[in-house]
């Protein structure tokens, strides 16, 4: 009996914490991005509301909540309301299997790693709902495009995760974190895998150079056209929360989760409090990288985006799996073997991708006709 | 009051777009989907829009994402400058000319002042000629910075960073001009026979500092943009202006030079002291968006060369004809004159007819952007909407000149 | 190489002589305006023909139209065409006088495509009708504007300012 009550209380506590994390992360990220973007663009960001502008996001949230709440007459009533409500489910539910620190993990599913990717797909569903319910041809096209992008890039993500599972030998997230004890972070063994996973996750989030669905060339807007006020706010917050959540996933799988120097120093209520600090530090390093990448690269167009997923990332991911499997099976000291293979492929990819692209572009340029009268 | 559910009457431009769709459908080019007469949608990129540079309205006929037809609608910034000229003395009109192509207003003043000097048969002092060239080229650099910055901003967040960096350099130029003329954009600086103010102390040194500092910044911008495979893919091969277009529509300036036409009025119809200066006419061969960007970047380098030569060659002497004050009221003899000048966007000229009185009889502007905008329907059709935005940014429009 | 500026550089006198020789019947009062413009008058009825022949001329093809200005001369109207010859790198300023009562002239959009908007502006501002123009409607002013502002007898009408 007591177990049931404790179980229910734990569940409620989890839901509260998970939603709190999502909202706080979204608000923090919005401000963080605006300040970081401003810093890189040689200007200040919002720095007047509250100390250094920390209350800016909250002010924006209040503003959004104060807007008129309307629904286009012809829009599907149920789906139109449901789409913004369900969009955050992915971000919240992922936290079921993420260990914030030693002892602070909701549930240690024995298919945790697969669950991570599976639940991310939920956002795709919400975006499709939003685009369809708007009864707007262009919103639907935008939503379909976003969905196509998201499902295309889930495949490289899964391919990356499979390698993590192969290295660790288990699909449980707790096992993945435990494997990385003693600074044996998986990113040191499989940097190329991390790169593939990271690029795929940027596209999954509709961030950075892959943000065509939300910018849609400033004219025909995407799935969010007909939404206004807090309805739109939910889509918006989800994107920023996703930045943190996806970075948390990457940190857990590749960067050792909550491990770090002095982890385990302060421990009470069965929870390791230094671990949370390290978890957040690593997460926000990756979030900063996301903002930096967004700023530095022009937007990819739809055909370039899809070509990159299907013609570059997926083949490389598959080859990576084959090579990793071969190394694990047949090389005696497979950890060293993996490290060598991983770093060589990582450096080769980074060094060769740009020159190869440029060479193709140069050839195209030579074939381009010179204008004449 | 305003009935939210009432559809407004389509105006002339939209009616024209709908008529064209009907004609195309009647010709048999309608939709191949059951139940649809035609696939196209007429969308209004209204006068207020983040991507159209200025108050330009584009009535776009879209088929899915493909632009079928564009009807530009202008006149939202029409300030009846040509009519105002009939009631202002020649001298009173100088600040008004400033406000046509406001991004590089020195060049606009220059065309007007040259025309009046030709009508009245006035000479310009030598020192003033050099100062005119220096300020003109400085504003050419400033104008190209705006053009390239806003063009890259259309492509993506990368661009928004570029805009800030480029505007940072533009601030230095505007500071120099403010020291010299008292204003940051609408200078009211040129006078008939010279310029209003002489160079303040230390201005030449500060200008030289700028000239020394700027090439490194240009290299910085090129490193960010030129080397970027995504940028190259989005700009090469798009929006090609052929040489036939240049002839047919009177395209001048960087847009023409990017298509291999070496037309630069500083060389082909030299004015001021340009014959004594050594600079190249920058051309590129492909005529696409990337080449227009390259021409503007290289032209900035040429302008720096010109400025440096002028600073070296700057003679002493008065900066205005006659005594301290320029003539306030002049009455040119009856006649007409047209002088075209190399504005950063092309050939900008004024045609003035005088009837011997203090006011011009007729003043007509030849505006480069007006001519360049005529090319839009041909240039944008057949492209995806994202490309259309990039192409229109590369043409470098300033609505002040188009609408006058 | 394509389009070149000044492939047939002639002196201004030579250009004027060429124009008189080939177009003498239609161009009156050919004179030189330094440094590089020839000014001439042309009759309204002959304009389209002259324009086509000017463009097609082998030695000094006036292929580009720079601008068209409409001028109100109080007793008549005038359309000024400013055209450019790539071969000789010179300009030609054609003045076409039109009667005050019916200022109508053939459109030259068939010869110089650039004339499209320039003629629309001349119609908008001065009221010169270009017959044969594909789409002669107002360009700078609003569609239902009444009157032609650059006429000397233009009076600002109240119906143009309904919101004031």
Would you give the end-to-end CA distance of chain A in angstroms?
89
> How far apart (Å, rounded) are the C-alpha atoms in residues B334 and C29?
17
Answer whether B156 sits within 8 Å of A368, measured CB to CB. no
Question: Is A120's pLDDT higher than 60?
Answer: yes
Q: How far is B52 from chain A (nearest CA, A)?
A: 10
Q: Is the pLDDT of residue A209 over 80?
A: yes
Residues of C in contact with B340 (CB under 8 A): 66
CA distances from A140 to A220, B60, B69 (A): 11, 20, 23
Residue C164 has a pLDDT of 66
Contact C5 B262 (CB under 8 A): yes
Overall average pLDDT of the C4-33 stretch: 83
* Residue B369 CA neighbour count, 13 Å, CB half: 28
Partners of residue C2 in chain A, C-beta under 8 Å: 371-373
- What's residue B325's pLDDT? 60
What confidence category does residue A221 fall into, taking pLDDT thresholds of 50, 70 and 90?
A: low
Q: Percentage of residues in chain A with pLDDT exceeding 90?
A: 16
State the count of interchain CB pairs (< 8 A) between A and C: 5
**pLDDT bracket for residue B323 (50, 70, 90):** low
- Does this model's pTM top 0.80? yes
What percentage of chain C exceeds 90 in pLDDT?
Answer: 29
The answer on pLDDT for C163 being more than 80 is no
Query: Do A373 and B156 count as a contact with CB atoms less than 8 A apart?
Result: no
**Touching partners of C (3+ C-beta pairs < 8 Å):** A, B
- Residue A370 distance to chain C (closest CA, Å): 10
pLDDT (tens digit, 9 = 90+) per residue, A75-100? 888 888 888 889 888 888 888 888 88
**A297–B234: do the CB atoms touch at under 8 Å?**
no
Confidence of residue B366 (pLDDT cuts 50, 70, 90): very high
The confidence score (pLDDT) of residue B174 equals: 93
Q: Which of residues 2-21 of C touch A (CB under 8 A)?
A: 2-3
Do C140 and B404 count as a contact with CB atoms less than 8 A apart?
A: yes
Rounded to whole angstroms, the Cα distance separating A177 from A181 reads: 7
For residue B87, count other CB atoms closer than 10 A to its CB. 10
Over 70: is that where the pLDDT of C128 sits? yes
Residue whose entry in the numeric block shows the structure tokens 């890189």: A40
**Proportion of chain B above pLDDT 70, given as a percent:** 93
CB contacts of A365 in chain B (<8 Å) are 236-237, 286
* B74 token code pair: 């202008």
Neighbours of A34 (CB within 10 A): 19
**Nearest CA to B401 among B76, B71, B151, B99?**
B99
User: Looking at chain A, which runs of residues are DSSP E strands?
Assistant: 267-268, 271-272
Q: B350-360 pLDDT, tens per residue?
A: 999 998 888 99
Mutation choice for A interface testing from B295, B386, B391 by most A CBs within 10 A: B386
Unique residue bearing structure tokens 């918006």: A236
Are A354 and B155 an interchain contact pair (Cβ–Cβ within 8 Å)?
Answer: no
| B348 at C interface, C-beta within 8 A | no
- The closest CB to that of A42, out of B43, B164, B228, belongs to B164
pLDDT tens column, A284-305: 999 999 988 887 777 787 788 8
Q: Touching check for A373 and chain C: CB below 8 Å?
A: yes
ipTM of the complex: 0.91
Residues of A in contact with C3 (CB under 8 A): 373
Read off φ and ψ for residue A272, nearest 5 degrees. -95, 110
Q: What SS3 state is found at B79?
A: coil
Which one of C36, C64, C122 would you mutate to disrupt binding with B, by most B Cβ within 10 Å of its Cβ? Answer: C64
Whether B229 and A361 lie within 8 Å, measured CB to CB = yes
From B351, which residue of chain C is nearest by alpha-carbon distance? C69
What is residue C105's three-state secondary structure? strand
Q: Do B260 and C33 touch (CB under 8 A)?
A: no
Distance, in Å, from the CA atom of A241 to the CA atom of A233, rounded to the nearest integer, reads 12
Residue B159: band (very low, low, confident or very high) from pLDDT cuts 50, 70, 90: low
**Are B244 and A364 in contact (CB < 8 Å)?**
no
Using a CB–CB cutoff of 8 Å, tell me whether A322 touches chain C: no
């Amino acid at each position: 009996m007591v177990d049931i009550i404790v179980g229910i209380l734990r569940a409620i506590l989890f839901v509260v914490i998970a939603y709190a994390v999502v909202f706080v992360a979204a608000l923090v990220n919005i401000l963080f991005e605006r300040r970081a973007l401003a810093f890189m663009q040689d200007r200040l960001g919002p720095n007047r509301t509250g100390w250094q502008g920390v209350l800016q996001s909250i002010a924006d949230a209040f503003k959004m909540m104060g807007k008129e709440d309307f629904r286009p007459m012809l829009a599907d009533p149920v789906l139109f309301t449901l789409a913004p409500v369900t969009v955050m489910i992915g971000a919240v539910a992922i936290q079921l299997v993420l260990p914030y620190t030693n002892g602070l993990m909701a549930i240690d599913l024995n298919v945790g790693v697969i669950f991570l990717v599976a639940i991310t797909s939920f956002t795709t569903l919400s975006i499709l709902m939003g685009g369809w319910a708007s009864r707007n041809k262009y919103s639907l096209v935008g939503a379909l495009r976003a969905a196509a992008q998201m499902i295309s890039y889930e495949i490289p993500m899964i391919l990356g995760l499979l390698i993590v599972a192969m290295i660790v030998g288990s699909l449980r997230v707790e096992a993945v974190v435990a494997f990385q004890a003693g600074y044996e972070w998986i990113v040191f063994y499989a940097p190329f895998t991390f790169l593939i996973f990271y690029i795929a996750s940027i596209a999954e989030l509709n961030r950075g150079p892959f943000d065509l669905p939300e910018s849609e060339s400033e004219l025909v807007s995407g799935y969010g056209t007909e939404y206004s006020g807090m309805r739109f706010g939910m889509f918006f917050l989800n994107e920023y929360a996703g930045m943190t959540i996806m970075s948390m996933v990457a940190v857990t799988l590749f960067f050792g989760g909550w491990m770090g120097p002095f982890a385990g120093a302060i421990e009470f209520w069965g929870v390791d409090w230094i671990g949370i600090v390290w978890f957040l530090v690593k997460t926000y390093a990756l979030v900063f990288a996301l903002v930096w990448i967004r700023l530095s690269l022009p937007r990819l167009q739809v055909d370039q985006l899809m070509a990159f997923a299907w013609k570059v990332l997926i083949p490389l991911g598959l080859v990576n799996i084959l090579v990793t499997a071969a190394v694990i099976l047949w090389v005696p000291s497979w950890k060293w073997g993996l490290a060598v293979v991983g770093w060589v492929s990582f450096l080769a990819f980074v060094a060769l991708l740009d020159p190869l692209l440029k060479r193709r572009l140069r050839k195209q340029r030579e074939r381009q006709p010179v204008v004449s009268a | 009051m305003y009935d939210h559910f009432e559809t407004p009457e389509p105006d002339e431009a939209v009616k024209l777009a709908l008529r064209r769709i009907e004609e195309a459908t009647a010709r048999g080019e309608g939709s191949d989907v059951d139940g649809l007469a035609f696939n196209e949608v007429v969308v209004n990129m209204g006068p207020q829009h983040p991507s159209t540079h200025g108050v330009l309205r584009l009535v776009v006929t879209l088929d899915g994402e493909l632009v079928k037809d564009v009807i530009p609608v202008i006149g939202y910034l029409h300030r009846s400058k040509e009519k105002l000229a009939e009631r202002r003395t020649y001298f009173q009109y100088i600040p008004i000319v400033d406000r046509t192509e406001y991004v590089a207003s020195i060049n606009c003043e220059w065309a007007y002042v040259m025309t009046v000097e030709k009508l009245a048969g006035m000479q310009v002092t030598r020192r003033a000629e050099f100062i005119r060239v220096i300020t003109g080229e400085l504003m050419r650099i400033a104008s190209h910075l705006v053009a390239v910055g806003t063009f890259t901003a259309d492509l993506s967040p990368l661009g928004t960073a570029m805009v800030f960096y480029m505007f940072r350099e533009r601030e230095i130029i505007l500071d120099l001009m403010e020291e010299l003329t008292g204003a940051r954009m609408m200078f009211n600086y040129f006078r008939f026979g010279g310029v209003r103010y002489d160079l303040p102390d230390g201005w030449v040194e500060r200008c030289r500092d700028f000239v020394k500092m700027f090439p490194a910044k240009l290299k910085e911008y090129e490193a960010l943009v030129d080397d970027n495979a995504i940028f190259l893919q989005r700009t090469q091969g798009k929006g090609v202006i052929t040489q036939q277009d240049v002839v047919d529509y009177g395209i001048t300036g960087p847009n023409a030079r990017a298509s291999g036409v070496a037309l630069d009025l500083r060389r082909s119809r030299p004015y001021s002291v340009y014959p004594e200066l050594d600079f190249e006419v920058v051309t590129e061969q492909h005529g696409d968006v990337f080449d227009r960007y390259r021409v503007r970047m290289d032209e900035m380098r040429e302008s720096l060369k010109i400025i440096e030569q002028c600073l070296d060659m700057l003679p002493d002497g008065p900066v205005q004809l006659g005594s301290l004050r320029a003539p306030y009221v002049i009455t040119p003899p009856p006649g007409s004159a047209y002088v075209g000048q190399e504005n950063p966007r092309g050939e900008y000229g004024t045609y003035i007819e005088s009837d011997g009185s203090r006011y011009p009889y007729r003043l007509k502007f030849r505006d480069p952007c007006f001519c360049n905008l005529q090319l839009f329907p041909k240039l944008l059709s057949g492209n995806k909407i994202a490309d259309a935005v990039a192409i229109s940014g590369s043409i470098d429009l300033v609505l002040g000149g188009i609408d006058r | 190489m394509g389009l070149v500026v000044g492939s047939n550089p002639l002196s201004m006198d030579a250009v004027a002589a060429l124009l008189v020789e080939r177009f003498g019947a239609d161009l009156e009062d050919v004179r030189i305006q330094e440094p590089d413009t020839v000014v001439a008058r042309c009759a309204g009825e002959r304009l389209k023909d002259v324009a086509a022949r000017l463009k097609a001329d082998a030695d000094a093809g006036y292929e580009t139209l720079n601008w068209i200005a409409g001028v109100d001369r109080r007793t008549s109207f005038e359309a000024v065409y400013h055209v450019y010859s790539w071969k000789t790198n010179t300009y030609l300023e054609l003045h076409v006088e039109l009667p005050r009562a019916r200022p109508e002239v053939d459109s030259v959009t068939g010869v110089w495509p650039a004339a499209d908007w320039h003629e629309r502006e001349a119609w908008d501002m001065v009221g010169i009708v270009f017959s044969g123009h594909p789409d002669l409607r107002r360009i700078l002013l609003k569609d239902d504007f009444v009157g032609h502002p650059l006429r000397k007898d233009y009076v600002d009408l109240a119906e143009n300012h309904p919101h004031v």
